[in-house]
Structure 1
């Protein structure tokens, strides 16, 4: 079911006339508006499957065996995005805690909607360019793992194994409180998750730009920096509408007979070879 003009109007009505703040670091900005995620999926043709009177949201794209569930009452896995396995490709999943900002999750959604990139991007290279520090690899069975930490030490990205073919390989991202290192939120991705999706999440995570929140919105932690934004609520709504319009253009281009969407690449070196072979 495509996104309707009425749904965009409802989004606008919830923001117009409100004061907008800039919040940083962005990974502690709080959940934000879930419609950053759901509006993009509806634009890409995903179908709602949930009870409209229930607090949960479920959408799927059956022709690609993809589904998303959002349960705002779950603290550990408020968002679950999954791809079912096929004969030649493994399934994969990602999960995000309740306080993961919707804008960061939506970076994964946008990467899922757009055609996969032709080049393989290492998420750790993305983080390193943003000044995140690599931590020494653990000894013993975890010797192949990698970890990167934000400059303020509050956010970490960890991959369990350098060999992406190895059973049990996974990604874990977590943010912690500055006062006691307690976990604020976690996110996970299976090792078979397409690497460009993990890279998109990493890029959104380490972006130094603040996120925008309404003045009394729920935040991720009391230590975040807030200041009035030069962005008006009207401009905030316009930016959301422009993003949706851009995604709609991409989806329509993919629906042309000569621009069929290629299958998602695997999260391994074989995916690069497959992508090159298709070009």
Structure 2
């Protein structure tokens, strides 16, 4: 299904499996999912309500601590776009690092995002909004809002604090704007919003937008005499 940002949560193992492969461990937890990095500088938690939080503590004075939170309806593919490169960088498997100021490079190169007022970008459908705040006094630096973050509408929000590395923001932005379909069980899709999703055909093109199924009319009951 596409776009991914409207496809619902999906399989949580897309988030946790790459971290487990990098040596993250799961301490005992009475509720939700908790994973800790081998260096104990990062922690990933999933609440009983389904929301996710990634917290990364500074390992040196040259780096900043940062965190990212995702609503319960956030797709696993988009969460993994943040958690996987962050874990790889902590493990020393990547030369990526936090650098510069302004907006992530990826969003500046997008051709299919319409510029909104201020430091914000809106998807062509209007369902997703990405906003950046360079004010150090603000707690949030980069905010993604889908469908006004209303869960009953299939919406969600992701908030990245100041200090969030640009390679993470770039990866998340690319995942949000990607046209690559994601796999979903049709029963897990947000039923009220199937008209916003499309499915690929065997030839690679999209099918017409999905339509929510209409209830079948009840068959008349015929009494036997």
Task: Name the TM-score, length of structure 1 as normaliser.
Answer: 0.60
1-structure distance, mates of 2:95, 2:121: 24
User: Which one has more relative contact order, counting CA pairs under 8 Å at least 6 apart?
Assistant: 1
SS in 2 for 1:90: coil
Note the residue ranges of structure 1 that are not aligned, 5 or more in a row: 1-22, 138-145, 231-279
- What's the CA shift string for 1:152-192, capped at 9, x where partnerless? 1110111112x6xx232511110117xxxx78111100011
Partner of 2:11: 33
The CA deviation at 1:25 is: 1.8
1-structure distance, mates of 2:31, 2:40: 26
Q: Structure 1 residues 147 and 183 mapped into 2: Cα distance closer, same or farther (>3 Å)?
A: farther
2:47 equivalent to 1:71: yes
Instruction: Check the 8 A contact 1:28/1:221 in 2, yes or no.
Output: no
SS in 1 for 2:159: strand
Q: 1:100 aligns with which of 68, 74, 86?
A: 74
Q: Structure 1 residues 189 and 220 mapped into 2: Cα distance closer, same or farther (>3 Å)?
A: farther
- What's the CA shift string for 1:170-222, capped at 9, x where partnerless? 11110117xxxx78111100011111111110010000122111232243852
2-structure distance, mates of 1:134, 1:116: 31
Q: Structure 1 residues 60 and 224 mapped into 2: Cα distance closer, same or farther (>3 Å)?
A: same
Q: 1:224 aligns with which of 177, 196, 199?
A: 196
- What's the CA shift string for 1:18-39, capped at 9, x where partnerless? xxxxx22210000000000111
The CA deviation at 1:50 is: 3.1
2:181 equivalent to 1:202: no
Q: Structure 1 residues 220 and 93 mapped into 2: Cα distance closer, same or farther (>3 Å)?
A: farther
Higher helix share: 1
2-structure distance, mates of 1:65, 1:99: 27
2-structure distance, mates of 1:226, 1:30: 13
Residue correspondence of structure 1 range 186-201 to structure 2 within 5 A = 186-201=157-172
Q: 2:23 aligns with which of 28, 42, 45?
A: 45
1-structure distance, mates of 2:59, 2:168: 19
Instruction: Check the 8 A contact 1:50/1:57 in 2, yes or no.
Output: no
The CA deviation at 1:119 is: 9.6
Q: 1:85 aligns with which of 24, 46, 58?
A: 58
- Cα RMSD of the aligned pairs, angstroms, is 2.7
Instruction: Check the 8 A contact 2:53/2:67 in 1, yes or no.
Output: yes
- Bigger radius of gyration: 2
Task: Name the TM-score, length of structure 2 as normaliser.
Answer: 0.74
Moved over 6 A (4+): none
SS in 2 for 1:41: helix
Partner of 1:213: 184
2-structure distance, mates of 1:100, 1:65: 24
Instruction: Check the 8 A contact 2:3/2:178 in 1, yes or no.
Output: no
Q: Structure 1 residues 185 and 127 mapped into 2: Cα distance closer, same or farther (>3 Å)?
A: farther
How many aligned residue pairs are there? 189
